[in-house]
A and B are shown apart, each in its own frame.
Chain A
Amino acid sequence: MTSEEPGGRLDLRFALGSDGRTALVRREHRFPFHFTTPLYLDGNMPGMAFVYVQNPTGGVFGGDRLELSVAADAGAAVHVTTTSATKVYRTEGEGAVQRVSLAVGTGAFVEYIPEPLIPQAGSRYEQDVAAVVDEEGALLIAETLAPGRVAHGEAFAYDRLLLRTAVRTPEADVCAETVLLEPTKGRPDRRGLLGEFPYLSTLLAVAPGRDSAALADALDDAVRDLGFALGAAGTLPREQGALVRVLARSSPAVTAALAAAWQAARMFLLGHAPPRRRK
């Protein structure tokens, strides 16, 4: 695929129905994206729509241009995840690019918690997540990064990984983060960077109008004494939410640490724990 051809696209819009259920009101998708019809999995929040994004090609290839867009209108509640880890394959030519845009309407609640990203040997990948959160909306974004195909003895063998996340409200920027890892130029497992922990997970909880210091404390309590992972949380700029970072030595450990943070964010923002997701 060259950059002139149209890339993969998935465009989903959700609205709160009069029955209190969040319904999918617009969809547009183009190869290779697939998605499940909304499932309603949360007994504590029966109207919340859960959508699983699938990429039946099994991963992201060099030259791929993927675009995922999720909009939740006022009051809607949406959870978006992927069915399995996103593998980024070796490429000789252009790297792969994925853009994700998230729009959280007034009073809406959106979770974007995909499975880990696994950049394989010789891969190049660029990801751009841009989100807008309206008044009284709340957004959770998680990103989990694996060092590569560990079962194949592969760690930090990818060429280049650029992960950008930017969140704003309609009035102003909230926070921005850019991680650039180029193992050929400097190993990511240097002390201070990832150190002895090859797995990294970040959870951003953006909730304008909520007590960000209390949110940060709740998240910090959930991850600081896990033992199997090194984690901590703190407030975001301008009291707009909190950020959690977790480092771990294994995939199950990082997943469990992220789950602990997710549960704490849910408890704080909604008053109840997340349901079990079916994978």
Chain B
Amino acid sequence: MLHVRAVLGRLDEARYSGRTVERLPIHSSEAAKARMRRRTDAGTDVAIELPRGTYLQHGAVLADDGKRIVVVERTPEEAAVVSFSPALDREELLGAAVCLGHAFGNQHVPLDVAAGEVRVPVTTSREVVLATIRSLDLPDVEVRFDSVPLALARPAGIAAHGEKPMTAGFLGGLQLADSALPIGRFVHSNGLEALLQDDAAAGEETIADIVRVFVTECVAPLDGVVLAHAHRATDAGSVERLVELDLLLETFKTTPAARLASTSCGHRLVALAPLLVDSPTVAELSRLVAGRRTPGNLAVVDGAVACALGVDREAAVLIELRGAAAGLFSAAVRLGRLSALRAQGALRGLEPPLHAAAAEALRAPIDLLRAAAPELEIYALRHRRADARLFMT
């Protein structure tokens, strides 16, 4: 029996040329399975035991003894092949494709897009698939049933399905969001204290508006985006990328208050990180921050620690945005401008914009970082030279 514990490479790599190929048929629905036992077309008994999250794509090389290799082969499966009329304009085509993707995505059916056609595996029956497509009332589509190889590579967007228990990282996330986490989040008002001093009439509604602007216009499109990328970099074990992101973020922190709030919290979290997670990437980041080799902005540290804690990217971004909102509400409470009860209600009220801002941050490319809330920024700058103040910024 042949034991497979890792994917070695791909069939099209030069190092495998000239080898005898034994094909191991793997159905698309089994491609994400970590453990199974199968036979190759030459009869070799293969026991597969792979790390969670591995995907057996078409052409994956599983064994190599120098003469023969064992290669994953996707056998043809029944699918509805949907093609769109070339007469459709861009807008109609986009609408039709999104509708189709949404309808089957909702049913957790993975789709393939190849040669301008969408392939929908028949996981139920032809009738059900057809009925779903017809109900969408798409303009000018043609549907035929065919036997085609499916999910040759990992389908986009469903990578994490079923790989982790639902609550993995949940407690870690709570810990990151906890106001008891001693990183000094609550000594910063990011300009709110100075603004409220200047505007004695500002009440709950104004404060909620300001918090929303701060989170959606400053934190999400800058720190949120960097955090998502830092999470990804940590997943890939790249400290170099974390440092790059840290330096990039620093250039966007154009006021001393923004830099102070970000790095003072970041430094305290990274110093605390070894007690929370056992990750060589986070440990190395911690060392670089301590040695002043990288600024140590909170979003970068937060993304790295969240990843190491098993908090997924989306949750990590939401925790950061919620933390920024909670911090400002808490400042307003301590300044005596909002009751602690009303603050909780106001925080709940921000849930839809927090979700929308997080979704946007998760999609945003790293070359379109932005942050601008000039009024709040001016107050944060003025705060530095104020006579009496409760908060650091």
Contacts and interface: CB of A to CB of B under 8 A. Distances in A.
Interface string A223-247: 0100000111111111000010111
A23 interface: no
A77 B328 CA distance: 45
B370 interface: yes
A151 interface: no
Contacts of B376: 192-193
B209 A190 contact: yes
Nearest to A145: B374
Looking at chain B's contact residues, is the secondary structure mostly helix, strand, loop, or mixed?
helix
Contact of A192 (B214, B253, B256, B381): B214
Interface stretch (A48-56, A84-92, A101-109, A172-180): A172-180
A238 B206 CA distance: 34
Interface stretch (A2-10, A57-65, A115-123, A194-202): A194-202
Nearest to B216: A186
A220 interface: yes
Looking at chain A's contact residues, is the secondary structure mostly helix, strand, loop, or mixed?
strand
B368 interface: yes
Contacts of B227: none
A178 B369 contact: yes
A2 to B, nearest CB: 17
Interface stretch (B35-43, B76-84, B124-132, B244-252): B244-252
Contacts of B210: 191-192
B374 A232 contact: no
A179 B222 CA distance: 11
Which has the most chain A C-beta neighbours within 10 Å: B206, B250, B368, B381? B381
Which has the most chain A C-beta neighbours within 10 Å: B250, B254, B377, B385? B254
Interface in B168-218: 195, 202, 206, 209-210, 212-214, 216-217
Interface residues of B, number: 38
B38 to A, nearest CB: 52
Interface string B24-47: 000000000000000000000000
Interface residues of A, number: 36
Which has the most chain A C-beta neighbours within 10 Å: B212, B248, B255? B255
Interface in A164-190: 166, 172-180, 186, 190
A247 B376 CA distance: 11
B98 interface: no
Contacts of B271: none
A176 B257 contact: no
Interface string B236-270: 00000000000110111111110100000000000
Contacts of A177: 252, 254, 372
A105 B100 CA distance: 56
Contacts of A200: 374
Interface in A202-223: 202, 216, 220
Contacts of A186: 216-217
A178 B254 contact: no
Contact of A178 (B212, B248, B370): B370
B393 to A, nearest CB: 11
Contact of A237 (B209, B250, B372): B250
Contact of A247 (B214, B374, B384): B374
A91 B376 CA distance: 32
A69 to B, nearest CB: 21
A191 B213 contact: yes
Given A180-B370, A236-B254, 4 more contacts: A173-B251, A178-B369, A192-B376, A247-B378
Interface of B: 195, 202, 206, 209-210, 212-214, 216-217, 221, 247-248, 250-257, 259, 368-379, 381-382, 384-385
15 contacts: A172-B247, A175-B251, A178-B372, A179-B372, A186-B217, A190-B212, A192-B217, A193-B372, A230-B375, A232-B378, A232-B381, A233-B381, A234-B381, A237-B250, A237-B259
